[in-house]
A and B are shown apart, each in its own frame.
Chain A
Amino acid sequence: MNSADATADSSTTALATQSIDDMSRSYALTTRLDDLVAWGRKNSLWPMPYGTACCGIELMSVMGPRYDLARFGAEVVRFSPRQADLLIVAGTITEKMAPVLVRIYEQMLEPKYVLSMGACASSGGFYRAYHVLQGADKVIPVDVYVPGCPPTPEAVLDGIMALQRMIATHQPRPWKDKWKSPYEQA
């Protein structure tokens, strides 16, 4: 039944209600609420760029005109951790920086994700040295590791897409659930 006809026929309101009901049935999609939320989350990851070193420069390229992170809904760079969903740790984290990183992570609101960009943030890289933290995951829970020194922007985009898949499929994240601040008094 054509909906235009139904609204035109004002004398039979019951029929009109029926027709609108039919119409909505033909257009609406059914989903679970959490799938819908996940879909929204994965396409609006607001990153907080924690660029400390060389990877920070490559992260600028990721944001920049050629690679354009905006295509993945993640262009709204927030420098306030309270407004960000995704912490991109781009660069070496030194021992001196570690307490700052933990504090930034704690300030972020749920749901929050961490992407470690590059060898240094993932494992300390080739700096097996007295002042370098051997990976950001020593102090905060990391969801995606992107290898490279520095990774190419394509690799970072791939990492973001991997994270989007994780969000879409509700992948359990035990590393995050079990996380405790390393500086909290036991």
Chain B
Amino acid sequence: MSKLENLKQSLAEAMSIDKFTFSHAFGDDVIEVPKQDIIPVLRHLKDGRRFDFLMDVCGVDYPKRSRRFDVVYHLFSSKDASRLRIKCQLGEGEEIVSATSVWQGADWFEREAYDMFGIVFSGHPNLRKILTHHQFVGHPLRKDYEADAQQHCTSVLPIHFQNEPGVDGSVLNDKYVALNIGPSHPAMHGTLRLMLELDGETIVRANPEIGYLHRCFEKMAETHPYNQVIPYTDRLNYCSAPMNNIGYCKAVERLLGVEIPPKAQAMRVVLAELSRVIDHIIAVGTGGVDLGALSAFFHLFTYREKVYTLFEKLCGSRLTVAMTRVGGMAQDVPDGWWDDVLIFCREMREEIDEISRLMLDNKIFIKRTEGVCPVTATEAVQWGYTGPLLRACGVNLDLRKSSPYYGYDALNFDVPVGTKGDIYDRYLVRVEEMKQSIRIVEQICKNPPGGDFTIRDKGIVLPEKKDVYGNIEGLMNHFMLVIKGLRPPAGEVYDATEAANGELGFYLISDGSANPYRLKVRPPCFAIYQSFPSVVKGSMIADAIATVASMNLIAGELDR
């Protein structure tokens, strides 16, 4: 019996499922339920231990439909790595019950859906705008909102906090000192804003304000053809840009139903793992800087530059490579590149040991991080933590192992897991992951697969330049693909990869046209950062800074 049949049976035993629709398309299980049943269904699936993660909540707008909105929930089970999509239809002006009572982690996702679509979640304690500024009128991801209709912001939102039962968040307590940090503050990485209420140095209340780098990625994706979205994905998590390219292209390829050739897979894995290394370099390096350890940053940046040089050799670009294309890679590996990567791997191994000695064995660093603001495994799962932060809490979940793609199952590597979930464990996990990534890269580079670097489907990939200029067929294929665009079949997929910060999910809806109908990104640090107020409550300001640093918040993917 299929997984979906199982679910159907179990749901039928618990409630009436006459109005539910069960379907399976593009490898995803989907259940459509009426809006009044959503909370019982979610609760049933969670309490029955079928799904432990709520990965994403988002809205979709179909203005021509009588009930124009879809509220979409993506569930994930860490036991068997299965996924489920639950959809609810909602008319304009209607309300849906908030899922925060079932999963705390629904908090910011619902706020985002409210901000972007105007979907009202009743029972949500803090249904405020989250990404757009406070003077913004309207809901930008609705189809009737023009992509370039800018609205100017003339003032800064005053300090406020989140509502708690019986406490209005916008009222400040006279007994305590209110402190604003950021967004332009070195420890806030340029774009985060923290509002704290302090009793001496102890944090009573904390509230992060995000959206200072909301660049409208999702709206831009809806207004650009599939391949032109790739450069935008680069700028999600710009510390490890290739990983976003890969995640996006993998989703589109699944919708198209194409498998990329082994060489493209190998190139993507090498790019992804090198990106993981440089992403962790940023996390560890700037994490050190935030705690006052500048030397590690200079050490590590030498090696980040070396990876940039490798990227530059591969495609001409340093940071935002945009190297993948739907169907494969943009071009082949230059001669000797695999060997260059191997040389880098050797150097990087030594550097990782050096960094372990410099930072992880440093008494001051240990004192600042060990046992500070720990998160338990249960809390982490509740909030939707993924990636190194989840593993630091002791949960062994890595998509490269649990649902392998691109031949990760054939590669030898270990998944480091922490025990305490404190800040020190997060750095331990990150440094060990760098070692494991180097291991993966070495395995591939020692024996790189041959063959083509892209599929040659005329409806998906542009022909080579020599064909475009050399023969009429190539010219016609080129012309047709450019004029008509890449058109995946109508349908939707949710596809996730293990990015440096955790699960990077792309929920892609196609209506058969040349642009995505909707592209929702599930950024890993968005789910992580929403736990911040409860994680730092009762600790010192300095610990809050250390926590922000250890979460490795990349504003590009946080705010999109």
Contact = CB atoms under 8 A, between A and B. Distances in A.
A179 interface: no
Contacts of A152: 318
Contact of B220 (A94, A101, A120, A129): A129
A94 B152 CA distance: 9
Contacts of A52: 190-191, 212-213, 555
Majority SS of interface residues in chain B? loop
Interface stretch (B96-104, B141-149, B266-274): B141-149
A173 B319 CA distance: 33
Given A52-B191, A96-B153, A131-B140, A64 B319 contact: no
Contact of B216 (A103, A132, A182): A132
B471 interface: no
B155 A131 contact: no
Nearest to A98: B153
A100 B555 contact: no
A159 interface: no
Interface string A2-37: 000000000000000000000000000000000000
Contacts of B234: 54
A58 interface: yes
- How many chain B residues sit at the interface, stated as a range, is 35 or more
Contact of B153 (A56, A92, A99, A126): A99
A128 B148 CA distance: 6
Interface stretch (B179-187, B254-262, B387-395, B429-437): B179-187
Interface residues of A, number: 41
A126 B211 CA distance: 18
B556 A131 contact: no
A166 interface: no
Contacts, number: 139
A54 B282 CA distance: 12
Contact of A50 (B184, B214, B238): B184
A34 to B, nearest CB: 32
B124 to A, nearest CB: 22
B191 to A, nearest CB: 5
A149 B215 contact: no
A96 B301 contact: no
Contacts of B511: none
Interface string A46-70: 0000111110111011001110000
A72 to B, nearest CB: 18
A130 B214 CA distance: 10
Contacts of A54: 234-235, 238, 241, 319-320, 556
A150 interface: yes
A95 B184 contact: no
A61 B301 contact: yes
Nearest to B157: A96
B215 A94 contact: yes
B220 A92 contact: no
Contact of A96 (B211, B241, B319): B211
A131 B132 contact: yes
A134 to B, nearest CB: 7
Contacts of A50: 184, 190
B140 A57 contact: no
Contact of A57 (B185, B211, B216, B282): B282
A92 to B, nearest CB: 5
Nearest to B148: A128
A162 interface: no
B548 interface: no
Given A57-B282, A95-B153, A65 B140 contact: no
Contact of B154 (A66, A99, A120): A99
Contact of A65 (B132, B151, B301): B301
Nearest to B187: A79
B167 interface: no
B215 A132 contact: yes
A77 B28 CA distance: 50
B1 to A, nearest CB: 47
Contacts of A95: 133, 136, 150-153
A76 to B, nearest CB: 13
A64 B299 CA distance: 9
Given A53-B556, A96-B153, 15 more contacts: A53-B190, A54-B320, A58-B318, A61-B304, A95-B133, A96-B214, A126-B231, A127-B216, A127-B220, A129-B216, A129-B220, A130-B145, A130-B149, A130-B219, A131-B216
10 contacts: A52-B213, A53-B213, A54-B241, A60-B301, A91-B191, A91-B213, A97-B191, A101-B184, A127-B216, A130-B146
Interface of B: 131-133, 136, 140, 145-156, 183-186, 189-191, 211-216, 219-220, 231-232, 234-235, 238-239, 241, 282, 298, 301-302, 304-305, 308, 318-320, 555-556
List the 4 closest pairs (A to B, CB-CB), nearest first: A129-B216, A54-B238, A96-B133, A64-B301
